[in-house]
Structure 1
Amino acid sequence: MDDTELHRERILRHVSPIITGRFVGYQASYTREVSVGKPLAIFVFLTAGIAQLVASLMRMKPARRSLKDLRKGPEFLVTPVRLRDDLGQTYEIEMHGQLPQSALHRGDLVQVRTEPQRDRTLPVKLTQVVNLTTMQPLTPRIPTRWSHLGPAMLLQAAAGLVVAGVVLAALFH
C-alpha cells in the first residue's frame, strides 16, 4: 500500500438540498449535451418548414436548420465543485454552466442549494450558491433547449403553425 492510498480523501456525493461549507475548489471541467426530444424537434422542424415554404414562395431567404441539428441539443459546461463542512467532510457537487471567476475563492464560506439529477449515479447539481463571505448570491447560467432552437426558428415555427391553422380552417369551413 502506498502513501496515496493512506491519504485518499473520502468524497461524499448524495447530500441534503442545502450544504454549508468552505469552498475547496473546482475540478476539471467538461461538456455535456442536452438532448432535445424527438417529438419537440419534429414539431418545430415541420411547422418551421411550412413558414420556410411560404417564405421561399415570396422569394425571401428563411433560416434553415436540419432535423439532425435540432435534435442535437446545446452543450453546457459541467464543473465538479468541492466543499468541506465544519466536520471536515468533503462534498462533490456538479455545477452546470458558469459563474464569474471572481465569484468564489478557496476558503470562502458558502451555502449551496442542490437538487438530484435524473441519473442517480451523478453527484447532485448546484442550483444556487450564496457566498457567505461576500454575501453575494450566484446562479450558474446554462443554455436551454429553447435558446438552442433559437428565436428565428421558433418564430418560423409559430408562423408555420398559424399558416397551417388558416389552411385547415379554410378547408373545413
Structure 2
Amino acid sequence: MDDTELHRERILRHVSPIITGRFVGFQTSYTREVRIGRPVALAVFLLAGIAQMIGSLLRMSPARRTLKELRKGPEFLVTPVRLRDDLGQTYEIEMHGQLPQSALHRGDLVQVRTEPQPDPTLPVRLLQVVNLTTMQPLTPRIPTQWSHMGPALLIQAALGVTIFGLVMAVWLG
C-alpha cells in the first residue's frame, strides 16, 4: 500500500434529497448519451415519413434523418460536483448539463436538491442548487429527446399524424 492510498479522501454517496454544504469544486466533465426508446423514435420516424413522402410529391425537400440517428439520442455534459458538509464529509453528486462558471466558487455555502438515478451505481443527480452565499437559485439545463429530434422533424410528424388521420377518416367514413 503506498502513501496515496493512506491519505485518499473518502467520498460518500448521499441518499437524502436535500444536501447542504460547502462547494468543494467541479471534477473533470465527460459526455453521456441518452438513448431514445424504440417506440418513440419509430413513431416519430414513420409519421414524419408520411409528411416527407407528401413533400417529395410536391417537390419540397424535407429534412431526412435515419432511424439509427434518431435512436442515438442527444449527448449531454456530466460533471461530478463535490460538496463538504459541516462534519467534514465529502459527497459527490452528478450534474447533468451546464451552469455558468461564475455561479459557484470554492467555499460557497450551497443547498442542492437531488434525485437518485436509474443506475444505482451512479451518484445522485443534481436537480437544482441554491447558492446560499449569493442567494442565487441555479438549474442546469440539458438537451431532451424532443430538442434532439428538432422542431422540423416534430412538425413533419405532426403533419404526418394529420394526414394519416384524414386518410383514415375518408377510408372509414
- For 1:31, the equivalent position in structure 2 comes to 31
- For 2:47, the equivalent position in structure 1 comes to 47
* Cα deviation code 1:21-77 (max 9, x no counterpart): 000001110000010000000000000000001111111111111101110100000
Q: CA deviation at 1:4?
A: 1.2
- For 2:155, the equivalent position in structure 1 comes to 155
**In structure 2, what residue type is equivalent to 1:39?**
P
Q: CA deviation at 1:151?
A: 0.5
Gaps of 5+ in 1: none
**What's the secondary structure of 2:95's corresponding residue?**
strand
**What's the secondary structure of 2:128's corresponding residue?**
strand
* Cα deviation code 1:104-161 (max 9, x no counterpart): 0001000000000000000000000000011100000000000001110000000011
Q: CA deviation at 1:15?
A: 2.3
**In structure 1, what residue type is equivalent to 2:143?**
P
Gaps of 5+ in 2: none
TM-score, normalised relative to structure 2: 0.98
- For 2:87, the equivalent position in structure 1 comes to 87
**What's the secondary structure of 1:14's corresponding residue?**
coil
- The yes-or-no answer on 1:134 pairing with 2:138 is no
- The yes-or-no answer on 1:117 pairing with 2:117 is yes
Q: 1:165, 1:14 → 2: CA distance? A: 50
Q: 2:110, 2:14 → 1: CA distance? A: 18
How many pairs align? 173
Decide which moves more: 34-43 or 2-11: 2-11
Q: Once superposed, what is the RMSD of the aligned Cα atoms?
A: 0.7
- For 2:97, the equivalent position in structure 1 comes to 97
Q: CA deviation at 1:2?
A: 2.4
User: Percent identity, aligned pairs only?
Assistant: 80
TM-score, normalised relative to structure 1: 0.98
Decide which moves more: 129-138 or 5-14: 5-14
**What's the secondary structure of 1:71's corresponding residue?**
helix
Kindly report structure 1 stretches of 4+ aligned residues shifted beyond 2 Å: none
**What's the secondary structure of 2:153's corresponding residue?**
helix
- The yes-or-no answer on 1:61 pairing with 2:66 is no
Decide which moves more: 120-129 or 14-23: 14-23
**In structure 2, what residue type is equivalent to 1:172?**
L
**In structure 2, what residue type is equivalent to 1:46?**
L
